[in-house]
Homo-oligomer: A and B are copies of this chain.
Amino acid sequence: MIINGKEVALRISNKIKKEIKSLNEKLTLCVIEIGENEASKIYINQKEKKCNELGINFKLIKFNENELESNIEKEIINLNRDSNITGIIIQLPVSNKYNINKLINLIDPNKDVDGLTDENKIKLLNEEKGLIPCTPLGIIELLKVYNIKVKGKSISIIGRSDLVSKPLFHMLLNMDATVTMCHSKTKNLKSFTKNADILISATGKPHIIKKDMVKDNSIIIDVGISRVNNILYGDVDFNNVKDKVKYITPVPGGVGPMTIIMLMKNVLEAYKKQKNSK
């Protein structure tokens, strides 16, 4: 059975739209773009479009690639203070001449809708309620909607990114799964994928997960997305794998649509946090 992320995202979208309409205030997502990056432009456009759809104000602040770091810092501090700004994102990646970790940690944790500040990371570790990165949040939501229980299940995550895999590891562990983290240095990857009741692949390497590597009747979550000769590929060889497993997410239309809607949900979440902390 194919997990329809697009459909689930649409349902959540409608729910959020209603909730936003019912508020007396207008929410605003602010994206900070530093320098020029083609992929980033596409992602920023998607965010703007989704904000428009849901009735969230969208604000883009562009810095050119030669901007002084101190000026970006000042802008973030102003955005933190500005009660009209609900959520703040720095669009990644950013040139490594900037101290991105420092910039991210300037963001007010209650406006950090990407869930990347140290304060939100530590909340996840301590099982407190903070803002959580959107992709892991979207994956957990998909599992819930499809009634896929994780307690006691063997879950292998491939990839060890701060954005996706590490937060996912802690979320799934908190939900009582047995979690293995695999990555590029893992030997005999197949032994870990074959053993997984739920396999989550987040490498961005096209079709590295083949039919012989997955367990019968398992659940496959494909977070990878890569483009070769203008064709989109997931991490999973979808056509050959799909008949062997119980559930699988397609690429596109699986995890992708969930990520952006979870960002919108985080903006709403951020609004509530700011309201409660007043």
Contact = CB atoms under 8 A, between A and B. Distances in A.
Interface string A131-158: 0000000000000000000011110000
A152 B176 CA distance: 25
A182 B187 contact: no
A195 interface: yes
Nearest to A125: B121
B180 A178 contact: yes
Contacts of A173: 160, 181, 183
Given A101-B126, A166-B125, A183 B191 contact: no
B182 A191 contact: no
Given A122-B122, A126-B101, A166-B125, A191 B195 contact: yes
Main secondary structure of the interface of A (DSSP, over half): mixed
Interface in A170-225: 173, 176, 178-183, 185-188, 191-192, 195
Contacts of A125: 121, 125, 166
A150 to B, nearest CB: 10
Contact of A178 (B121, B126, B153, B181): B181
A192 B178 contact: yes
A118 interface: yes
A183 B125 CA distance: 16
Interface of A: 101, 118, 121-122, 125-126, 151-154, 160, 166, 173, 176, 178-183, 185-188, 191-192, 195
Given A176-B183, A178-B181, 4 more contacts: A118-B118, A125-B125, A152-B185, A154-B191
9 contacts: A122-B122, A125-B125, A125-B166, A152-B186, A154-B188, A154-B192, A178-B185, A178-B192, A179-B180
